[in-house]
């Protein structure tokens, strides 16, 4: 199957209100152009240098989402053009993004990443850490970032029940956070969850943004 056909297949499954971020990390500009010509405009990358090089050489109406672990010293390279940063996993990082966004004269959209998987290796806040930060309220003074929602990754497992449980826990937490701190902030409406192997469960649990890579582009080339 071609990239365009794979893309079509995923898009056909999306209910209204759910958007696809095509994860193009480690794939070539040619592969991205194929998806672009099939109509896709939202792409996600996990490395700053790679995303910036692609941004510079590809059409300017692409929305670039950063989905990786962001190091503070590299924020400045993506802040001028990034549409959404999915992986804010510390308050310090949020403060740094705000600082760089102010320098660039932008308001940068961000998602808070929650740790919902069993694996130790995945980044993100615990629910309690997230509650603490939001309760402390200092984020309200960060005028160059816009908190748009939450992001999470389920455990990489074949156990469907576990995946469902993790997505539901994040979805419930999203509702709590929305009610407690963002009831009057319309921009806070995104729940980024679901990858190639689990996006159907993520959609069932209330995802608004799925991040699908290998199902569209095939296995990564390196």
Ligand X SMILES: *Cc1c(COP(=O)(O)O)cnc(C)c1O
> Nearest distance from residue 186's CB to ligand X, in Å?
25
What is the dihedral sign for C-alpha 149, 153, 2, 222? positive
Question: Which of 23, 52, 178 lies closest to 111, judged by CA?
Answer: 178
Restricted to residues 135-164, the positions that interact with ligand X (CB under 6 A) are 153
> Residues 96, 114: contact at Cβ < 8 Å?
no
> Nearest distance from residue 47's CB to ligand X, in Å?
10
Give the count of residues interacting with ligand X (CB under 6 A): 12
Site mask for ligand X (CB under 6 A), range 30-69, x = bound: ----------------x--------------------x--
Per residue in 103-133, is it b (16+ CB within 10 Å) or e — as a string? ebeeebbbbbbbbbbeeeebebbebebbbeb
> Nearest distance from residue 197's CB to ligand X, in Å?
6
Among 20, 195, 203, 209, binds ligand X (CB under 6 A): 195
> Nearest distance from residue 189's CB to ligand X, in Å?
19
What is the dihedral sign for C-alpha 53, 56, 61, 66? positive
> By the criterion CB under 6 A, which residues form the site for ligand X?
23, 25, 46, 67, 153, 195-196, 211-215
């Amino acid at each position: 199957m071609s990239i365009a056909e794979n893309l079509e297949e995923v898009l056909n499954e999306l209910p209204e209100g759910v958007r696809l971020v095509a994860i193009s990390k480690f794939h070539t500009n040619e592969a991205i152009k194929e998806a672009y010509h099939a109509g896709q405009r939202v792409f996600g990358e996990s490395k700053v240098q790679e995303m910036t090089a692609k941004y510079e050489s590809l059409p300017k109406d692409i929305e670039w989402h950063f989905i990786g672990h962001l190091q503070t010293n590299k924020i400045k390279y993506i802040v001028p053009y990034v549409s959404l940063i999915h992986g804010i996993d510390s308050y310090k990082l949020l403060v740094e993004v705000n600082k760089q966004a102010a320098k660039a004269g932008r308001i940068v959209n961000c998602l808070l990443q929650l740790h919902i998987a069993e694996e130790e290796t995945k980044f993100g806040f615990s629910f309690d850490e997230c509650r603490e930060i939001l309760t402390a309220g200092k984020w309200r003074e960060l005028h160059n970032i816009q908190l748009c929602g939450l992001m999470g990754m389920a455990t990489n497992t074949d156990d469907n029940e576990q995946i469902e449980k993790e997505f539901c826990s994040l979805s419930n937490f999203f509702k709590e956070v929305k009610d407690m701190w963002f009831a009057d902030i319309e921009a806070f409406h995104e729940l980024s969850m679901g990858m190639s192997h689990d996006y159907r469960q993520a959609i069932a649990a209330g995802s608004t943004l799925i991040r699908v890579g290998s199902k569209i582009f095939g296995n990564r080339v390196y």
